[in-house]
Amino acid sequence: MNILKFFTAGSVDDGKSTLIGRMLYDTGSILADQLEALQSSNRKNDDGTIDLAILTDGLRAEREQGITIDVAYKYFQTDKRKFIIADTPGHIQYTRNMVTGASTARLAIILIDARNGVVEQTIRHSYLVSLLGIKHIVVCINKMDMVDYSETVFTAITEKYRALAAQLNLNDVNFIPVSALKGDNVVQKSERMVWYEGQSLLHFLETVEIEANDDARLSRFPVQWVIRPQTDELHDYRGYAGRIAAGTFRVNDRVTVLPGGSSSVISKIEMFDQQPQEAHAGQSVTIHLEDDIDISRGDLIVNAANQPLQSKMIEADLCWMDARALDTSLTYFLQHNSKLTRCKISEIIYKVDINTLEKHSSDEFKLNDIGRVVIKTADELPFDLYDESRENGAAILVDSRNNLTVGAVMFRAAVA
Amino acid sequence: MSRYNLDYLDELEAEAIHILREVAGQFEKPALLFSGGKDSITLVRLAEKAFRPGKFPFPLVHIDTGHNFEETIDYRDRMIERIGERLIVGHVQDSIDQGKVIEQTGKNASRNALQTVTLLDTISAHGFDACIGGARRDEEKARAKERIFSVRDEFGQWDPKRQRPELWNIYNGRIHKGENVRVFPISNWTELDVWNYIRREGIELPSIYFAHERDCIVRNGQWMAASPFLNMDEEDVVYHKKVRFRTVGDMSCTAAVESDADQIDDIIAEISASKISERGARLDDKVSEAAMEDRKKGGYF
């Protein structure tokens, strides 16, 4: 059994919380005492049934305001898969929350209100999904009960959305007509939409194939920690501990250590009491090299046959996440895997109006702004393009004055 | 592209090890908060996987309320002996003796709330800049929104509105002096995941997790272990029951569930079919719907 992390965007009005609540409820993921707390709550639907949206509202401030203001993680499982939902609010002022939630997801659910069709926020959410490199998309056309479960309405919306998906290079797009409120096509296939021949949402989520990120040509291993016991019996022990960011490493592979470019051969791979011959993306391991090289936290071990880009000038997409605007005269920290370096944003190439997808030039970059910039780093950075490796192609910006995380960075090109 | 996908326990384990190594790499003086419960026992196992054959780059810290189950303390001491790591104990009794907290009175008296003060004092006395804890997001809905690296101010407070965005698997542990970070490596695990991991790894647990015979009384509709810490009086009727505990907290606030599950397989079967969530057996969450949120703001684990 494996884990699928998915992301949901949508506003309160789309019934997103109800949809998630419905999945939890119908898969039996709500326990008796939680249900009791639900039933004693004074929020009910018009017909007196439990308001399932309460299940995903976390903080008291949110309950008072009736909105979701952060990223909430929810967990449920079926016989086939475990699911982690990153649930975020959909309004434009929560763009940074959506970017955060989308950053770890492999699949996105885009909610569309069947009465309204493709609207501004559909464009915005789809743009963010494409920006964050989520490859699999499920468009849930919700509130089908409000449009008499009409196939015509459903088809018209799918056609409109396909045009948007093409514009954003979203390839794997799937459409499901649902009513979260009534439960149609969420867990069980609905009998009220016999014209729909596809799967229910849950069945789709259980069976969609998510490709692994273990292309051996892109093998990347950021060193987090050097294990050196320095005891009598382990005097010469020196292991490089980290989590394989991408690709596959095998014993006897020739590797290069960046920065610096020293070369060596993997002599041993350890996973606690095991010594596998190979290890894959996502595994936390300890790697040993044949040669005694000076390696420390922040270094990157890569397959010698295919090295990442290296540059001090990088073109990147940036999402600004702080109330204090970007200051191009200021030095920020760039945190990329286990590496921390200083940087400046040397140029704002353009900003994107994420409601219309239009690009325009701008001198300022404020909370929730997204656009293309040039980052100038103090140290040469070994990186991959975000589209090729999410793990080695992303970074965060940290304000050196208050230590806040202020920017999400996706590398798009090395500047010559 | 090939289809190498990690099994869910392997993926959760790899993520937790990555987080522990980030703590080692980013902080000067981290500590692992050890309660004697299954979640922190799991953390110890993960730390062994992250750092062996080296030593842990942090000590274990136990906040001892003085109302612990004897079995928990026995377990703790044997475990420390086995792993050969350093243990620091902060005593709530010391905080009481120093007049920093006042012992509660009455039937619902508990030292649970007092331990926050002892914890914060222990953190500042040792200058810990990161405290690793075993909290999980599935435990409670306020926790569902907490970051893996959760920054606390010098009063130990968590501000849900000022959380740092946490993107990809990049954790920002930069802090100012006086602040510290609570780190939750098993945030993404569920109760069942922890149990399945304990079974897979063959990890030993304190005996109170397994069904055993014990004198119990009823408090607030739940079974509590009869003990001098409960302020019992003649109205309390003692029943001899076969019970087990789903969490390991204070004897004054950890409720038992009736159970025959004396093997880990039985426990997993019981939880899979359970109708009461784990925190449902913690009286300290019951005070109000926002109870957990309030305690976290005040520096609770």
* CA–CA distance, A409 with A411 (Å, rounded to integer): 6
Nearest CA in chain A to B193: A82
> Residue A367: its pLDDT value, please?
92
Domain that holds residue A342: 309-414
Q: What is the CATH number of the domain that holds A96?
A: 3.40.50.300
If one counts every other C-beta atom within 10 angstroms of the C-beta of residue A49, the result is 10
Domain boundary among A174, A207, A240: A207
* A225 contact residues in B (CB cutoff 8 A): 21, 24-25, 50-51, 57
Q: Which of A113, A117, A119, A146 is nearest to A46 (CA)?
A: A146
The values of phi and psi at residue A269, to 5°, are -120, 130
Q: What is the CATH number of the domain that holds A243?
A: 2.40.30.10
Per-residue pLDDT in tens (0 to 9) along chain B, 301 residues: 344 578 999 999 999 999 999 999 999 999 999 999 999 999 999 999 999 999 999 999 999 888 888 999 999 999 999 999 999 999 988 888 888 888 877 767 777 777 888 888 899 899 999 999 999 988 776 677 788 999 988 777 777 667 889 999 999 999 988 888 999 999 999 888 999 999 999 999 999 999 999 988 888 788 888 887 777 777 788 889 899 988 887 787 788 888 899 999 999 988 877 645 555 554 444 444 445 555 555 555 5
Please tell me whether residues A384 and A283 are part of one structural domain: no
* B142 contact residues in A (CB cutoff 8 A): 58-59
Q: What is the pLDDT of residues A104-148, one digit of tens each?
A: 999 999 999 999 999 999 999 999 999 999 999 999 999 999 999
Please tell me whether residues A236 and A336 are part of one structural domain: no
DSSP SS3 for A253 = coil
First to last CA, chain A: 45
Cβ distance of B51 and A283 shorter than 8 Å: no
Q: What is the pLDDT of residues A139-193, one digit of tens each?
A: 999 999 999 999 999 999 999 999 999 999 998 999 999 999 899 999 999 999 9
Which of A215, A282, A337 faces B14 most closely, judged by CB atoms?
A282
Please tell me whether residues A112 and A181 are part of one structural domain: yes
Burial call A299-311: b when 16+ CB within 10 Å, e when fewer: bbbbbbeeebbeb
Cβ distance of A284 and B50 shorter than 8 Å: yes
* CA–CA distance, A222 with B168 (Å, rounded to integer): 14
SS3 content of chain B, % helix, strand, coil (to 5): 40, 15, 45
A228 residue type, one letter: R
Strands B87-91 and B60-64, by their bridges, are: parallel
The answer to ipTM > 0.95 is: no
Please tell me whether residues A282 and A297 are part of one structural domain: yes
* A32 contact residues in B (CB cutoff 8 A): 275-277, 280
The answer to whether B139 faces chain A, any CB pair under 8 Å, is no
Q: Which of A90, A3, A161 is nearest to A177 (CA)?
A: A161
Segments of chain A with pLDDT less than 70: 11-12, 30-50, 52-69, 213-217
Cβ distance of B175 and A403 shorter than 8 Å: yes
Cβ distance of A70 and B53 shorter than 8 Å: no
The answer to whether B221 faces chain A, any CB pair under 8 Å, is no
Strand ordering across the sheet containing A239-243:
A220-222, A300-303, A254-258, A262-270, A284-289, A239-243, A225-227
Domain boundary among A244, A275, A303: A303
In total, the C-beta contacts within 8 angstroms joining chain A to chain B are 179
Alpha carbon of B295 to those of A8, A299, B159, B188, B252: distances in Å? 29, 40, 11, 21, 17
Cβ distance of A75 and B176 shorter than 8 Å: no
Q: Which of B11, B57, B183 is nearest to A226 (CA)?
A: B57
* B22 contact residues in A (CB cutoff 8 A): 224, 338
* A396 contact residues in B (CB cutoff 8 A): 165, 167-168, 170, 172
Tell me whether residue B80 is exposed, middle or buried, using C-beta atoms within 10 angstroms of its C-beta: 0 to 12, 13 to 18, 19 or more: middle
DSSP SS3 for A293 = coil
Please tell me whether residues A203 and A279 are part of one structural domain: no
Domain boundary among A284, A303, A322: A303
Measure A184 CA to nearest chain B CA, in Å.
26
Contact A193, A151 (CB under 8 A): yes
| Domains of chain A: total | 3
Which residue is it, tokens 């249900």?
A35
Please tell me whether residues A158 and A221 are part of one structural domain: no
Cβ distance of B18 and A37 shorter than 8 Å: no
> Residue B19: its pLDDT value, please?
98
Q: Please state the pTM of the whole predicted model.
A: 0.91
Cβ distance of A2 and B11 shorter than 8 Å: yes
Contact A16, A98 (CB under 8 A): no
DSSP states along A109-123: EEEEETTT-S-HHHH
Cβ distance of A60 and B138 shorter than 8 Å: no
* B183 contact residues in A (CB cutoff 8 A): none
Of the CA atoms within 13 Å of residue A380, those in its CB half-sphere come to: 11
DSSP SS3 for B147 = coil
> Residue A23: its pLDDT value, please?
87
Please tell me whether residues A170 and A47 are part of one structural domain: yes
- A370 contact partners, CB below 8 Å, separation of at least 6: A95, A131, A317, A318, A319, A320, A351, A352, A354
Contact A208, A107 (CB under 8 A): yes
- B228 contact partners, CB below 8 Å, separation of at least 6: none
* B57 contact residues in A (CB cutoff 8 A): 225
Contact B94, B273 (CB under 8 A): no
Please tell me whether residues A265 and A145 are part of one structural domain: no
Please tell me whether residues A149 and A189 are part of one structural domain: yes
* CA–CA distance, A35 with A49 (Å, rounded to integer): 12
> Residue A309: its pLDDT value, please?
96
> Residue B155: its pLDDT value, please?
77
Measure B93 CA to nearest chain A CA, in Å.
33
Contact A5, A86 (CB under 8 A): yes
Please tell me whether residues A269 and A376 are part of one structural domain: no
* CA–CA distance, A81 with A27 (Å, rounded to integer): 12
> Residue B286: its pLDDT value, please?
45
Please tell me whether residues A276 and A336 are part of one structural domain: no
Of the CA atoms within 13 Å of residue A257, those in its CB half-sphere come to: 21
* B190 contact residues in A (CB cutoff 8 A): 75, 77
Nearest CA in chain A to B14: A284
The answer to whether B200 faces chain A, any CB pair under 8 Å, is no
The values of phi and psi at residue A251, to 5°, are -60, 140
Contact B172, A396 (CB under 8 A): yes
Tell me whether residue B197 is exposed, middle or buried, using C-beta atoms within 10 angstroms of its C-beta: 0 to 12, 13 to 18, 19 or more: buried
Alpha carbon of A77 to those of A35, A208, B84: distances in Å? 18, 15, 37
Cβ distance of A1 and B8 shorter than 8 Å: yes
Strands B222-225 and B180-183, by their bridges, are: unpaired
* B1 contact residues in A (CB cutoff 8 A): 211-212, 215
Domains within chain B, CATH numbers bracketed: 8-193+290-297 (3.40.50.620), 206-283 (no CATH)
> Residue A185: its pLDDT value, please?
96
Please tell me whether residues A85 and A167 are part of one structural domain: yes
Nearest CA in chain B to A230: B54
